[in-house]
Structures are given as C-alpha cells and as structure tokens.
Amino acid sequence: MAQALTKPSQLLYAPAEAAKVLSLGRSTIYNLMAAGALAYVKHGRLRRIRWTELERYASSLEAPTD
C-alpha cells in the first residue's frame, strides 16, 4: 500500500523540488513529464508540478511483490 505524502508546504514544485519530494532523480522527473506520466503546468519558460499531481503519481505506484 502506498504511503501518503506529508502535507505540502507549497502548491507548486520545480522539477528538482519534486524529485526530492518523491525521492527520485531530477532527470527521472523530466522523463516522466515528457512521457506524460507526471502532469505539469507552464508559466512562461518555467515548468511546475502541482502537489496534487505528486500525490496522484505516488499513489499510482505499485508496491513490490516478492
């Protein structure tokens, strides 16, 4: 069962910040964004990921079955 993320301190996260929240690499976040697996919003040249999208992605991950 996926563990819920803690309450957000902000609503929008830069890819590097999202990587820290999800314990993933920054390049992995960019790959997920490019593949459409992690939705983002654009403001000018900046890409930001909503907290709700981080929660959705984290809860979509399956627990390993050994």
Is it the case that residue 20 has pLDDT exceeding 80? Answer: yes
DSSP state of 47: E
Answering whether pTM is above 0.85, one says no
More confident position, 2 or 58: 58
Is it the case that residue 2 has pLDDT exceeding 60? Answer: no
- Digit-coded pLDDT (tens) for 21-51: 999 999 999 999 999 999 999 999 999 999 9
**Rounded CA gap, 56 and 26, in Å?**
18
Average pLDDT over the chain, rounded to an integer: 90
Q: For the chain, how many helices (H) and strands (E)? A: 3, 3
pLDDT band for 1, please (50, 70, 90 cuts). very low
